[in-house]
Chain A
Amino acid sequence: MNYEAVIGLEVHVQLKTRSKMFTRAAVGYGLPENTLTDPVVLALPGTLPVMNKAALDKIIQAGLLLGCEIATVCKWDRKNYFYPDSPKNYQISQYDQPICRGGRVEIELPGAARNIMGEHKHIALTRIHLEEDVGKLNHGEGESLVDFNRAGTPLMEIVSEPVLRSADEAFAYLTALKTIMIYGGISDCDMEKGQLRCDANISIRPVGATTLGTKVELKNLNSISFVRDGIAQEIRRQTAVVAAGGTIAQETRDYDGQTGASKSLRSKEMAHDYRYFPDPDLMPVEVGEAWKAALRAECPELPFDKQRRMLEEYGVPYTLTSVLVPDRELSDFFEEAARLSGRPQAAGNWIVNDLLRELGSAKMALAESKVRPAHVAGLVRLVEEGVILSNAAKEVFIEMFQSGDAPAAVVARRGLGAGTNPDELERWCAEAIAANPKSVADFKGGKDSAINAFKGPVMRAAKGKADPKRVDETLRRLLSS
């Protein structure tokens, strides 16, 4: 029998706010333990939470980008459970009234080849709600220490419908979600810093079945490739169990990305009763139309919409867009360079090849780059006009990447111009013609290839910097006069 997988993802995304969800303590990563705390974060006796409005703005914006229905009231509940990383031993979350319902994420599946666009699908979302992150346990020998720096960081949970069918789809979903979150400035989604975390609910069923199989929750999928590998492994595990006549136990499993295997964490019998109830410390917050409209106005174009527009507007190849589009800043950079130069493809090539290479080896971010869109556009024009050759242009690029000088200035300073002085080129051509009367005769006699005999001496005189096209044009003009 053939089986298909049914996968739903629960994705936690830390919101990019300055302060924590319910207090003014700062949000941060990689700082000394327990420095991002205050009496509220540590849940000292008598402290109270106060909602960070910026976090609510971010999640509403996320909901708008994903086409969710936004609740008219933001209501808070307590999720009660004991764990040492949870300072209050309850988490402030949203239970029966999530701020966002429905919505969808457009994904692109892998194409037949790297340069071919893959199939697009929409993955339906169940809900998105806002909550606070917990601290972190550091287990040592014979003791465990708690670091509350992360505790209270605004965290949004994005729950998909169980509509994903493969590890590849899950991978594509996370990739697309991450790109949208970064586009909206909602989160940096750095999985290494725990800014995006993913749990997967996975079941299998015979192909064609309409009921769902027993689901297994897979945790600790802490990189995008672990998500793909972990899900693929779990589907294989479940298929093998069923094929051997066994049944799937409802349980939570922990995936180990290093070994590629998972082990059972807890079974359904140990499921928590979270005793949710409305948080009496927080008043429900009304989300009015004006508030939503203001946030809607700030929504950026979605990545796949931008990609479709770029393909049409600039006529550039898919592969170029697939490098540019995932990075909002880079694609904005490209669009400006394309506009300034009027040569989108050439500008795009400089950006995805040379600029990204230089940034990569210098370990720099685009924002730090001294090369701006105008530099790229200038360079494209110099090549286009034959002022410099493509080999020389590569040198110009590296120099302007280092100095930030305009390309024309670099060309002038380094003398990289391709016969930039037309008088000089004219003189060299005239001298070459004068020195070789036989070839002049051949050419004038109809032997077109005889013109090549003049080109060697001209190029030698120009020390190889002359533009062959320009040399050819000049020789023909002189020979025909």
Chain B
Amino acid sequence: MLGRGEVSSVELMAAVIARTKEVDARVRAFNSFDEAGALAQARASDERRAKAGPGGCGPLEGIPVGFKDVISVAGQPLTASSRMLANFVSPYDATVTAKLKAAGAICWGRLNLDEFAMGSSTENSAFQTTCNPWDLARVPGGSSGGSAAAVAAGEAVVSLGSDTGGSIRQPAALCSVVGMKPSYGRVSRYGLIAFASSLDQIGPFARTTQDAATVLAAIAGHDPRDSTSVRLDVPDYNRGIAELARSGRKWRLGIPREYFGEGLDPEVGAAVQAAIDEYRALGCEVREVSLPHTKYAVGAYYIIATAECSSNLARYDGVRYGHRSRDARDALDIYFKSRAEGFGAEVKRRIILGTYVLSSGYYDAYYLRAQKVRTLIRRDFLEAYRDVDAIVTPTSPTPAFLRGDKTSNPLAMYLNDIYTIGVNLAGLPGISIPCGFTRSGLPIGLQVIGQPFKETELLAIAGAYEGRTDWRSRRPDL
């Protein structure tokens, strides 16, 4: 509509602002937004479009993008939903931000998350709990709960999240939107507040796989500021997807038997089975595969992720920026009191766990071993990919749970990531797409896991199912 001139960027932005003002008091997806700044960006976009003429702009020109509050935008707050950074304004742009700006997108508001991206429900935010737009009594998932809820509730056209163990895919599933985690190294992490550096990856939330592909194309690519970003060309995803769709390729899909056992909600299981049947109906070859080390994934993940976070979060010390305790008397006091006051319980729990597993004498037994398990898990996937093009699983074992339901039981919360964690450990791309609703109207997500750096194929496979359903046209009743 923007491209055809039916609506201006300012009109679109104003509509998004109005919608946000209307619903966000209930959804609470945003930590903050700058209405005037967003409209100014929209005006600049309209000017660029006028200058460029018809067809002269890219697909993201004038599109409001919401940012998980761990991705830096110069001049905007960057809080990680933590008291520690409650008053921090970032002076620089993340690489993804700079790329989106270059593509003409509007840096819209700051979206809520579990503090420092640690959690699966957005209840660990120091500021507010985001509500699931489909049932306000329930969580939107996490940690990118704000990013998923904002897109689901129409408060942003697309948004960015980060995924360390499922933090994009799980909330996407729980909010009935598309959420994608690219292959590790596909998108620069420069400007993303690190939780676990070897697992973190930025990815898009959107209503459709096509929109997700458009955002991915804009943010992907090697970045000289991130030496873990890979030197691979970024394909034109949407063209590649269209070509694959035209070719009528019959995909071979793997169903890992380890992902359909105990703990899987029957309604989720049934919806995923129905989706698999759709793939069969499309002529895809579906076969069972085995990922035998799956049972060790959660354990390995919580060792590696906590070890890395214990070091990554050491910089939040109250010395240079962020929260500093008013009671501190000396340097040690600044550390102890500022961190005690600045971090929430889950962040502290993980820092302590990570500090422990890296301690002298425990390193080999925990961290080194977890890295070996990680290698085995990646090998499981690569082994399976000898026979299949992608793997199809539920995204989350359950639909959205009630707020407060699991906050007192961290282990139950951790098990919510059981189907998503392996993808991060193996560095693979994964996507969650809507695949139905429970009888009580809660969204269910289907996870498709791709091969390293084969995002085009992954998006094409997800899009093939998406094209046969209209789950995406349903809207929450807000």
Please list the residues of chain A having a beta carbon within 8 angstroms of any beta carbon in chain B: 39, 42-51, 78, 80, 82-84, 87-90, 144, 146, 273, 275-277, 280-283
- Taking CB atoms, residues of chain B closer than 8 Å to A78 are 311
Assign chain B's interface to a size class.
35 or more
Please list the residues of chain B having a beta carbon within 8 angstroms of any beta carbon in chain A: 70-72, 78, 80, 85, 88, 90-92, 94, 189-194, 196-198, 224-228, 307-308, 310-311, 314-317, 319-321, 331, 334-335, 355, 358-360, 363, 367
Minimum CB–CB distance for B126 against chain A, Å? 15
Taken together as a complex, chains A and B put the C-alpha atoms of A50 and B95 apart, in Å, by 14
Q: Is the CB of A46 within 8 A of B331?
A: no
Minimum CB–CB distance for A198 against chain B, Å? 26
Minimum CB–CB distance for A313 against chain B, Å? 48
Q: Is the CB of B224 within 8 A of A89?
A: no
Contact with A275, one of B85, B88, B355 (Cβ below 8 angstroms) = B355
Taken together as a complex, chains A and B put the C-alpha atoms of A43 and B318 apart, in Å, by 12
Known contacts being A45-B80, A45-B90, A84-B331, is A146 close to B319, with CB within 8 Å?
yes
Q: Name the CB-closest residue of A to B79.
A: A45
- 11 A-B residue pairings within 8 Å (CB atoms): A44-B90, A45-B85, A45-B88, A45-B316, A50-B227, A90-B314, A275-B359, A277-B363, A277-B367, A280-B308, A281-B197
Closest 3 CB pairs of A and B: A89-B314, A280-B197, A280-B198
Q: Is the CB of B227 within 8 A of A48?
A: yes
- Taking CB atoms, residues of chain B closer than 8 Å to A281 are 194, 197, 226-228
Q: Is the CB of A48 within 8 A of B359?
A: no
Task: Contacts A280-B196, A281-B227 known; list 12 others, CB within 8 Å.
Answer: A39-B92, A43-B320, A46-B72, A46-B90, A46-B94, A46-B193, A82-B314, A83-B331, A90-B314, A273-B359, A281-B226, A281-B228
Q: Is the CB of A275 within 8 A of B360?
A: yes
Known contacts being A39-B91, A277-B307, A280-B198, is A46 close to B191, with CB within 8 Å?
yes
- Taking CB atoms, residues of chain A closer than 8 Å to B94 are 46
Taken together as a complex, chains A and B put the C-alpha atoms of A480 and B279 apart, in Å, by 124
Minimum CB–CB distance for A350 against chain B, Å? 52
- Taking CB atoms, residues of chain B closer than 8 Å to A48 are 189-190, 194, 225-228
Known contacts being A46-B70, A48-B190, A275-B358, is A283 close to B227, with CB within 8 Å?
yes
Taken together as a complex, chains A and B put the C-alpha atoms of A83 and B314 apart, in Å, by 10
Q: Is the CB of B319 within 8 A of A84?
A: yes
- Taking CB atoms, residues of chain A closer than 8 Å to B331 are 83-84, 144
- Taking CB atoms, residues of chain B closer than 8 Å to A273 are 359-360
Minimum CB–CB distance for A143 against chain B, Å? 10
Taken together as a complex, chains A and B put the C-alpha atoms of A49 and B226 apart, in Å, by 7
Q: Is the CB of A88 within 8 A of B91?
A: no
Q: Name the CB-closest residue of B to A88.
A: B315
Contact with B311, one of A80, A83, A283 (Cβ below 8 angstroms) = A80
Q: Is the CB of A275 within 8 A of B190?
A: no
- Taking CB atoms, residues of chain A closer than 8 Å to B308 are 280
Q: Is the CB of A275 within 8 A of B311?
A: yes
- Taking CB atoms, residues of chain A closer than 8 Å to B360 are 273, 275
Minimum CB–CB distance for A223 against chain B, Å? 28
Taken together as a complex, chains A and B put the C-alpha atoms of A270 and B69 apart, in Å, by 39
Known contacts being A45-B88, A50-B224, A87-B320, is A82 close to B335, with CB within 8 Å?
yes
Minimum CB–CB distance for B193 against chain A, Å? 5
Known contacts being A45-B72, A48-B227, is A80 close to B92, with CB within 8 Å?
no
Q: Is the CB of B321 within 8 A of A50?
A: no
